[in-house]
Protein backbone atom coordinates (compact mmCIF):
# COMPACT_ATOMS: atom_id res chain seq x y z
CA UNK A 1 0.00 0.00 0.00
CA UNK A 2 0.99 3.61 -0.52
CA UNK A 3 0.79 6.70 1.66
CA UNK A 4 -1.60 9.44 0.58
CA UNK A 5 -1.33 13.20 0.95
CA UNK A 6 -4.90 14.33 0.42
CA UNK A 7 -6.11 17.86 -0.12
CA UNK A 8 -9.26 19.83 -0.84
CA UNK A 9 -9.37 23.45 -1.91
CA UNK A 10 -11.66 26.11 -3.35
CA UNK A 11 -10.75 27.61 -6.74
CA UNK A 12 -12.51 30.51 -8.46
CA UNK A 13 -14.47 28.82 -11.23
CA UNK A 14 -13.13 31.33 -13.74
CA UNK A 15 -9.58 30.24 -12.83
CA UNK A 16 -10.00 26.59 -13.83
CA UNK A 17 -7.47 26.75 -16.68
CA UNK A 18 -5.04 28.84 -14.63
CA UNK A 19 -5.28 26.32 -11.79
CA UNK A 20 -4.61 23.44 -14.15
CA UNK A 21 -1.61 25.21 -15.67
CA UNK A 22 -0.24 25.93 -12.19
CA UNK A 23 -0.55 22.24 -11.28
CA UNK A 24 1.13 21.18 -14.52
CA UNK A 25 4.06 23.53 -13.89
CA UNK A 26 4.52 22.22 -10.35
CA UNK A 27 4.24 18.57 -11.38
CA UNK A 28 7.83 18.06 -12.66
CA UNK A 29 9.23 19.45 -9.41
CA UNK A 30 6.93 17.30 -7.32
CA UNK A 31 7.99 14.23 -9.27
CA UNK A 32 11.64 15.16 -8.78
CA UNK A 33 11.04 15.52 -5.04
CA UNK A 34 9.70 11.98 -4.88
CA UNK A 35 5.93 12.23 -5.31
CA UNK A 36 4.27 9.33 -7.05
CA UNK A 37 0.87 9.63 -8.66
CA UNK A 38 -0.68 13.11 -8.50
CA UNK A 39 -4.40 13.65 -9.12
CA UNK A 40 -6.43 16.86 -9.38
CA UNK A 41 -10.21 16.54 -9.75
CA UNK A 42 -12.64 19.39 -10.45
CA UNK A 43 -15.96 19.51 -8.61
CA UNK A 44 -18.85 18.48 -10.85
CA UNK A 45 -21.66 17.06 -8.70
CA UNK A 46 -21.26 18.47 -5.19
CA UNK A 47 -24.49 18.38 -3.18
CA UNK A 48 -25.23 20.71 -0.32
CA UNK A 49 -25.40 19.02 3.08
CA UNK A 50 -27.64 19.79 6.03
CA UNK A 51 -24.75 19.93 8.50
CA UNK A 52 -21.55 19.94 6.44
CA UNK A 53 -20.39 19.48 2.86
CA UNK A 54 -17.40 20.01 0.57
CA UNK A 55 -18.22 23.69 0.08
CA UNK A 56 -18.20 24.29 3.82
CA UNK A 57 -15.02 22.25 4.23
CA UNK A 58 -13.06 24.93 2.37
CA UNK A 59 -15.49 27.83 2.81
CA UNK A 60 -16.17 27.94 -0.93
CA UNK A 61 -18.23 30.82 -2.28
CA UNK A 62 -20.84 30.63 -5.03
CA UNK A 63 -18.17 31.74 -7.50
CA UNK A 64 -15.76 28.95 -6.53
CA UNK A 65 -15.48 25.25 -7.35
CA UNK A 66 -14.18 22.60 -4.97
CA UNK A 67 -11.09 20.66 -6.05
CA UNK A 68 -10.35 17.23 -4.57
CA UNK A 69 -6.91 15.71 -5.06
CA UNK A 70 -4.04 13.69 -3.69
CA UNK A 71 -0.45 12.57 -4.13
CA UNK A 72 0.71 9.01 -3.50
CA UNK A 73 4.04 8.02 -1.93
CA UNK A 74 5.65 4.67 -1.09
CA UNK A 75 5.39 5.48 2.63
CA UNK A 76 5.20 8.35 5.12
CA UNK A 77 8.97 8.80 5.22
CA UNK A 78 8.95 9.48 1.48
CA UNK A 79 6.16 12.02 1.98
CA UNK A 80 8.14 13.74 4.74
CA UNK A 81 11.26 13.92 2.58
CA UNK A 82 9.16 15.41 -0.22
CA UNK A 83 8.00 18.23 2.04
CA UNK A 84 11.52 18.98 3.22
CA UNK A 85 12.71 19.35 -0.38
CA UNK A 86 9.64 21.35 -1.40
CA UNK A 87 10.05 23.85 1.44
CA UNK A 88 13.76 24.41 0.77
CA UNK A 89 14.01 24.40 -3.02
CA UNK A 90 14.23 27.98 -4.43
CA UNK A 91 12.53 26.88 -7.64
CA UNK A 92 9.25 26.70 -5.74
CA UNK A 93 9.40 30.48 -5.39
CA UNK A 94 9.65 30.80 -9.17
CA UNK A 95 6.27 29.19 -9.78
CA UNK A 96 3.43 31.58 -10.73
CA UNK A 97 1.23 32.93 -7.98
CA UNK A 98 -1.39 30.41 -6.89
CA UNK A 99 -4.75 31.13 -8.61
CA UNK A 100 -6.69 30.31 -5.43
CA UNK A 101 -6.72 31.09 -1.72
CA UNK A 102 -4.13 28.77 -0.22
CA UNK A 103 -5.19 29.65 3.32
CA UNK A 104 -8.39 27.68 2.78
CA UNK A 105 -6.71 24.58 1.35
CA UNK A 106 -7.00 21.64 3.72
CA UNK A 107 -4.40 18.86 3.56
CA UNK A 108 -3.28 15.87 5.59
CA UNK A 109 -1.49 12.54 5.43
CA UNK A 110 -3.53 9.35 5.26
CA UNK A 111 -2.66 5.67 5.53
CA UNK A 112 -4.71 3.51 3.12
CA UNK A 113 -6.30 0.52 4.80
CA UNK A 114 -8.51 -0.49 1.88
CA UNK A 115 -7.13 -0.39 -1.67
CA UNK A 116 -9.01 -2.46 -4.25
CA UNK A 117 -8.48 -2.28 -8.02
CA UNK A 118 -5.63 -0.63 -9.86
CA UNK A 119 -6.84 1.20 -12.96
CA UNK A 120 -7.18 4.97 -13.17
CA UNK A 121 -10.49 6.70 -13.73
CA UNK A 122 -11.66 9.82 -15.55
CA UNK A 123 -14.31 10.50 -12.91
CA UNK A 124 -14.38 9.90 -9.19
CA UNK A 125 -16.50 10.07 -6.07
CA UNK A 126 -14.67 11.67 -3.16
CA UNK A 127 -15.55 11.26 0.53
CA UNK A 128 -14.54 12.56 3.94
CA UNK A 129 -16.02 11.08 7.12
CA UNK A 130 -15.38 10.72 10.85
CA UNK A 131 -14.76 7.29 12.39
CA UNK A 132 -13.97 6.62 16.04
CA UNK A 133 -10.78 4.71 16.85
CA UNK A 134 -12.65 1.71 18.34
CA UNK A 135 -14.67 1.41 15.11
CA UNK A 136 -11.67 1.32 12.80
CA UNK A 137 -11.80 -2.45 12.17
CA UNK A 138 -15.57 -2.52 11.79
CA UNK A 139 -15.40 0.35 9.29
CA UNK A 140 -12.54 -1.27 7.38
CA UNK A 141 -14.40 -4.59 7.14
CA UNK A 142 -17.51 -2.82 5.84
CA UNK A 143 -15.50 -0.72 3.37
CA UNK A 144 -13.57 -3.75 2.08
CA UNK A 145 -16.84 -5.58 1.42
CA UNK A 146 -18.39 -2.59 -0.35
CA UNK A 147 -15.27 -1.97 -2.44
CA UNK A 148 -15.55 -5.35 -4.16
CA UNK A 149 -19.20 -4.60 -4.95
CA UNK A 150 -18.28 -1.21 -6.44
CA UNK A 151 -15.90 -3.00 -8.80
CA UNK A 152 -18.71 -5.33 -9.88
CA UNK A 153 -20.69 -2.29 -11.01
CA UNK A 154 -17.86 -0.80 -13.04
CA UNK A 155 -15.59 1.07 -10.61
CA UNK A 156 -11.88 0.83 -11.34
CA UNK A 157 -10.34 1.48 -7.93
CA UNK A 158 -11.56 2.11 -4.38
CA UNK A 159 -9.32 3.55 -1.66
CA UNK A 160 -10.13 4.20 2.00
CA UNK A 161 -7.39 5.97 3.98
CA UNK A 162 -7.14 6.54 7.74
CA UNK A 163 -6.06 9.96 9.04
CA UNK A 164 -2.46 9.67 10.17
CA UNK A 165 -1.02 13.19 10.06
CA UNK A 166 -3.94 15.63 10.20
CA UNK A 167 -2.78 19.13 11.16
CA UNK A 168 -5.03 21.79 12.62
CA UNK A 169 -5.54 24.73 10.27
CA UNK A 170 -5.94 28.40 11.08
CA UNK A 171 -9.00 28.84 8.85
CA UNK A 172 -10.26 25.29 8.34
CA UNK A 173 -8.98 21.71 8.27
CA UNK A 174 -10.07 18.11 7.74
CA UNK A 175 -11.33 17.65 11.29
CA UNK A 176 -13.57 20.69 11.03
CA UNK A 177 -14.73 19.51 7.61
CA UNK A 178 -16.38 16.43 9.15
CA UNK A 179 -17.19 18.04 12.51
CA UNK A 180 -14.94 15.46 14.17
CA UNK A 181 -15.48 14.83 17.86
CA UNK A 182 -12.97 13.69 20.49
CA UNK A 183 -11.72 10.20 19.73
CA UNK A 184 -12.67 10.35 16.04
CA UNK A 185 -10.33 10.14 13.07
CA UNK A 186 -10.86 11.46 9.56
CA UNK A 187 -11.18 8.96 6.71
CA UNK A 188 -10.31 10.19 3.23
CA UNK A 189 -11.58 7.99 0.41
CA UNK A 190 -12.40 7.88 -3.27
CA UNK A 191 -13.94 5.65 -5.94
CA UNK A 192 -12.55 5.91 -9.48
CA UNK A 193 -14.85 5.34 -12.46
CA UNK A 194 -14.07 5.16 -16.20
CA UNK A 195 -16.62 7.93 -16.84
CA UNK A 196 -19.41 9.92 -15.23
CA UNK A 197 -21.92 7.90 -17.25
CA UNK A 198 -20.72 4.62 -15.76
CA UNK A 199 -20.85 6.15 -12.28
CA UNK A 200 -24.35 7.57 -12.77
CA UNK A 201 -25.64 4.24 -14.11
CA UNK A 202 -24.05 2.29 -11.25
CA UNK A 203 -25.36 4.24 -8.27
CA UNK A 204 -29.09 3.43 -8.61
CA UNK A 205 -28.17 -0.26 -8.83
CA UNK A 206 -25.82 0.01 -5.86
CA UNK A 207 -28.52 1.63 -3.75
CA UNK A 208 -30.80 -1.36 -4.40
CA UNK A 209 -28.11 -3.98 -3.74
CA UNK A 210 -28.82 -5.46 -0.32
CA UNK A 211 -25.15 -6.40 0.07
CA UNK A 212 -24.33 -2.71 0.48
CA UNK A 213 -26.21 -2.57 3.78
CA UNK A 214 -24.01 -3.08 6.85
CA UNK A 215 -24.81 -5.77 9.40
CA UNK A 216 -26.13 -3.76 12.34
CA UNK A 217 -25.46 -0.06 12.87
CA UNK A 218 -23.06 1.78 10.60
CA UNK A 219 -19.65 2.21 12.30
CA UNK A 220 -19.67 5.98 11.65
CA UNK A 221 -22.04 8.95 11.64
CA UNK A 222 -23.30 9.11 8.07
CA UNK A 223 -24.92 12.48 8.70
CA UNK A 224 -21.46 14.05 8.85
CA UNK A 225 -20.08 12.34 5.74
CA UNK A 226 -18.95 14.78 3.04
CA UNK A 227 -19.22 13.53 -0.54
CA UNK A 228 -19.32 14.62 -4.17
CA UNK A 229 -18.51 13.77 -7.78
CA UNK A 230 -15.37 15.12 -9.46
CA UNK A 231 -13.98 15.24 -12.99
CA UNK A 232 -10.32 14.27 -13.18
CA UNK A 233 -8.37 17.11 -14.82
CA UNK A 234 -4.80 15.96 -14.04
CA UNK A 235 -3.53 12.43 -13.41
CA UNK A 236 0.19 11.71 -13.59
Domain ranges of the chain: 3-235
- The model's confidence at residue 1, banded by pLDDT at 50, 70 and 90, is low
Distant-in-sequence contacts of 132-137, Cβ < 8 A, 24+ apart = 132/183, 132/184, 132/185, 132/219, 132/220, 133/183, 133/184, 133/185, 134/183, 135/219, 135/220, 136/162, 136/185
| Closest C-alpha among 110, 79, 104 to residue 177 | 104
CB distance 164 to 107 below 8 Å: no
Q: What does pLDDT average to over the chain?
A: 96
Residue 95 backbone class (left: φ over 0; alpha: ψ -120 to 50; beta: rest): beta
Backbone φ and ψ for 106, nearest 5 degrees, come out as -110, 140
Strands (DSSP E) contained in the chain are 3-12, 38-45, 64-73, 106-117, 123-132, 157-165, 184-193, 226-235
Reported as type and span, the H/E element at residue 152 is helix 136-152
Average pLDDT over residues 27-53: 97
With b meaning 16 or more CB within 10 Å and e meaning fewer, what string describes 147-157? bebbbebbbbb
Q: Report which of 218, 225, 222, 131 is spatially closest to residue 178, judged by C-alpha positions.
A: 225
Phi, psi of 89 (to 5 degrees): -80, 120
What is the mean pLDDT of the segment spanning 141-164?
A: 98
Fold of the domain spanning 3-235: Alpha-Beta Plaits (3.30.70)
Query: pLDDT at position 217, please?
Result: 84
Distance CA(27)–CA(35), nearest Å, equals 9
Model confidence, pTM: 0.96
- For residue range 62-112, list pLDDT tens digits in order: 999 999 999 999 999 999 999 999 999 999 999 989 999 999 999 999 999
Amino acid sequence: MTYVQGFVTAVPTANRQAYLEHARQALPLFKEFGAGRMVEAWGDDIPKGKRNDFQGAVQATAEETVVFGWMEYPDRDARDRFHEKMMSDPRMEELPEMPFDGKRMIFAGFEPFVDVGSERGAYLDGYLLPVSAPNRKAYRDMAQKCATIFLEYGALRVVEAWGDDVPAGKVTDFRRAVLAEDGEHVVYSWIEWPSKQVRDEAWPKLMKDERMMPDGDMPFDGKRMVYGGFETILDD
